[in-house]
């Protein structure tokens, strides 16, 4: 082991279990379970129909295995598709939220109580299958912004949900999206009206607590013409020996001149050093730049999960629309990540930027897989992609699989990738200037990721840097 590789392991910090009475449906998936979920949510008939349609389609689909990750078979009948903390049905105020839940989110550092106003973030907290609290709703409502749990939106804003749900990720899009469409339990819904600049960062915090459950959340964000919203999601889960499935779907819709900035800090339980346990994170995220001059920007910091399999993408339909993807993915120990983006250029003068930074340590396997597709009508489309990988240790792997498909000769597309390691000479230099080896590594890694971190909202950039330090501990030093 070189001096860069040796350092103590720090256990996963968010691995505690909240002891709370939960309402869990027995494991298994059938039309009855879907009806039960739908009934528990008090959903209208059209929603149930849509779920069943997705389920029937899912039955005909096969689990995809083209990604560059390996895992044992998933038994979809052994998963419980609904788990909720036992509670009174309707919440009037935060005082009614179970203090244990508040405590859980306080432990995670999530400002769920409104007195943490200074944080300036509106939070929707999702615990297992249900949303437990959404803060700052009145402040947002004054501007006409709707920010609530999606199950609530289905009941209270059916016209918006019906118009947009499944319009970006159809119920039959892929195996995991179909599964999600059939059984999704909660998630966030946001609607920003015309011309409104959302005054707060919107945020959802996802927590898996119960064992043998899967989390299937669904997020839908609609930015009407000329509006702006910045949205952040964070995730964590307790330490368990089993693998838990997380199959989410996120849909973004940006109309004329609207901007959506979507940031993710994903820190699901990654499993232990032998690769036992951890979350399977199989997620479909897609944004549609429907309007002219619209913009969708994805920023993700992926440090957790045993397996990450996600490709947040942008469909650039509107002329002059912009798609961006900034990603830092860290795989340590036995983690595997196959992640990247899809940029589909349809409108004229559409532009996309991809910056992906992969860091592999331990036995981690990190794959960038991305698609840039420039269709015939996308006159003067422009893409720039940059994928850099950093390897720490000689047991890990870094892979880059970009797919580039250009069908318009006025388009310009550039892709660059590089792979490197932290050199002993770089560490030596830093140490010679008085830095410890740990500080030197952290400085080099942070410098490597800087282009992505600068895209995150400030508070989260700090959080991301800290998280990165923790994730890499044990591999560097």
Partner 1 sequence: MTEHYVRDFQTFASNGAAGAPAWLREIREGAIARFAELGFPTMKQEEWRFTSVAPIAETRFTLAPAAHSPLPAPAEVERLQLGAGPRLVFVDGGYVRGLSSLAGLPNGVYAGSLAAALQAGPSGELARAHLTRLAHWRDSAFAALNTAFLADGAFVHVPAGCVLAQPLEVVCVATAGGSDGPKVAHPRGLIVVERGAQAVVVETFASLGDGVHWTNAVSEVVVGEGARVEYYRVQREGRRGYHVATTQSRQERDSYLGLHAITLGGTLARHDITTVLDGTGAELILNGLYVLGGSQHADHHTVIDHARPHCASHEFFNGVLAERAHGVFTGRIIVRPGAQRTDSKQTNNNLLLSTEARADSQPQLEIHADDVKCTHGSTVGPLDPTALYYLQSRGLSPETARSLLTYGFAAEILGRMRSADLRDRLDRLVRAELA
Which of 141-149, 250-258, 416-424, 446-454 is the region at the interface with partner 1 (rule: CB under 8 A)?
Answer: 416-424
Q: Restricting to residues 46-75, name those near partner 1 by CB under 8 A.
A: 66
Least distance (Å) from partner 1 to the CB of residue 141? 47
Show the tokens assigned to 145: 């912004």
Least distance (Å) from partner 1 to the CB of residue 329? 15
CB atoms within 10 A of CB 408: 17
Which of 49-57, 153-161, 197-205, 398-406 is the region at the interface with partner 1 (rule: CB under 8 A)?
Answer: 398-406
Least distance (Å) from partner 1 to the CB of residue 399? 5
Show the tokens assigned to 397: 């792997």
Least distance (Å) from partner 1 to the CB of residue 358? 10
Which of 39-47, 275-283, 393-401, 469-477 is the region at the interface with partner 1 (rule: CB under 8 A)?
Answer: 393-401
Closer to partner 1 by Cβ: residue 66 or 115: 66
Among 10, 96, 420, 436, binds partner 1 (CB under 8 A): 420
Among 61, 94, 239, 404, binds partner 1 (CB under 8 A): 404
Rounded to whole angstroms, the Cα distance separating 332 from 394 reads 12
Closer to partner 1 by Cβ: residue 18 or 475: 475
Which of 96-104, 110-118, 133-141, 396-404 is the region at the interface with partner 1 (rule: CB under 8 A)?
Answer: 396-404
For residue 376, give every residue at least 6 positions away whose Cβ sits within 8 Å of its Cβ, in sequence order, or none: 407, 408
Residue pair 211/241 in contact by the 8 Å Cβ criterion: no
Rounded to whole angstroms, the Cα distance separating 24 from 328 reads 35
Among 398, 427, 430, 449, binds partner 1 (CB under 8 A): 398
DSSP one-letter string for 238-298: ---SSEEEE--EEEEEE-TT-EEEEEEEE------TT--SEEEEEEEEEEEE-STT-EEEE
Among 63, 75, 156, 405, binds partner 1 (CB under 8 A): 405
20: contact with partner 1 by CB under 8 A: no
Least distance (Å) from partner 1 to the CB of residue 367? 9
Rounded to whole angstroms, the Cα distance separating 201 from 119 reads 10
Closer to partner 1 by Cβ: residue 212 or 386: 386
E strand map for 64-176: 83-85, 121-127, 130-134, 146-149
Q: What is the total residue count of the chain?
A: 477
Residue pair 392/1 in contact by the 8 Å Cβ criterion: no
Q: Restricting to residues 359-388, name those near partner 1 by CB under 8 A.
A: 374, 376
Interface residues with partner 1 (CB under 8 A) are 66, 374, 376, 389, 391-421
């Amino acid at each position: 082991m070189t001096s860069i590789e040796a350092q103590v392991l720090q256990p996963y910090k968010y691995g505690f279990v909240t002891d709370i009475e939960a309402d869990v449906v027995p494991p298994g998936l059938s039309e009855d379970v879907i009806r039960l979920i739908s009934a528990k949510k008090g959903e209208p008939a059209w929603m149930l129909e849509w779920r069943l349609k997705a389920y029937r389609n899912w039955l005909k689909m096969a689990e995809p295995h083209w990604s560059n990750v390996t895992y044992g078979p998933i038994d979809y009948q052994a998963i419980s598709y609904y788990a909720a903390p036992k509670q009174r049905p309707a919440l009037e105020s935060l005082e009614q939220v179970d203090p244990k839940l508040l405590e859980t989110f306080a432990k995670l550092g999530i400002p769920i109580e409104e007195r943490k106003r200074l944080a300036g973030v509106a939070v929707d907290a999702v615990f297992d299958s249900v949303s437990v609290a959404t803060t700052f709703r009145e402040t947002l409502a004054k501007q006409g912004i709707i920010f609530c749990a999606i199950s609530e939106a289905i009941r209270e804003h059916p016209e918006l949900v019906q118009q947009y749900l499944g319009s970006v990720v159809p119920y039959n899009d892929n195996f995991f999206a179909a599964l999600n469409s059939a059984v999704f339990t909660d998630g966030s819904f946001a609607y920003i009206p015309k011309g409104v600049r959302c005054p707060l960062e919107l945020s959802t915090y996802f927590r898996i607590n119960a064992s043998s459950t899967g989390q299937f959340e669904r997020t839908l964000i609609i930015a009407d013409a000329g509006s702006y919203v910045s949205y952040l999601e964070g995730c964590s889960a307790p330490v368990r020996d089993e693998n838990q499935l997380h199959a989410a779907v996120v849909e973004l819709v940006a109309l004329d001149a609207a901007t959506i900035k979507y940031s993710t800090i994903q820190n699901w339980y990654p499993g232990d050093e032998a690769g036992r346990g951890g979350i399977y994170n199989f997620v479909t995220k897609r944004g549609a730049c429907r309007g002219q001059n619209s913009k969708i920007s994805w920023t993700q910091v992926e440090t957790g999960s045993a397996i990450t399999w996600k490709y947040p993408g942008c469909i650039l339909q509107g002329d002059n629309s912009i798609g961006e993807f900034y990603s830092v993915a860290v795989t340590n120990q036995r983690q595997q990540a196959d992640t990247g983006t899809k940029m589909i250029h349809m409108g004229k003068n559409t532009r996309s930027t991809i910056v992906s930074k992969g860091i592999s340590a331990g036995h981690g396997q990190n794959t960038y897989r991305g698609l840039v597709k420039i269709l015939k009508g996308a006159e003067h489309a422009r893409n720039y992609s940059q994928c850099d990988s950093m390897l720490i240790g000689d047991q890990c792997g870094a892979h880059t699989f970009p797919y580039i498909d250009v069908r318009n000769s006025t388009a310009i597309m550039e892709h660059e990738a590089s792979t490197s390691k932290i050199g002993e000479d770089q560490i030596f230099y830093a140490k010679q200037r008085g830095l410890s080896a740990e500080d030197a590594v952290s400085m080099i890694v942070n410098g490597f990721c800087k282009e992505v971190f600068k895209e995150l909202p400030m508070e989260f950039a700090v959080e991301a840097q800290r998280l990165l330090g923790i994730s890499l501990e044990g591999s560097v030093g």
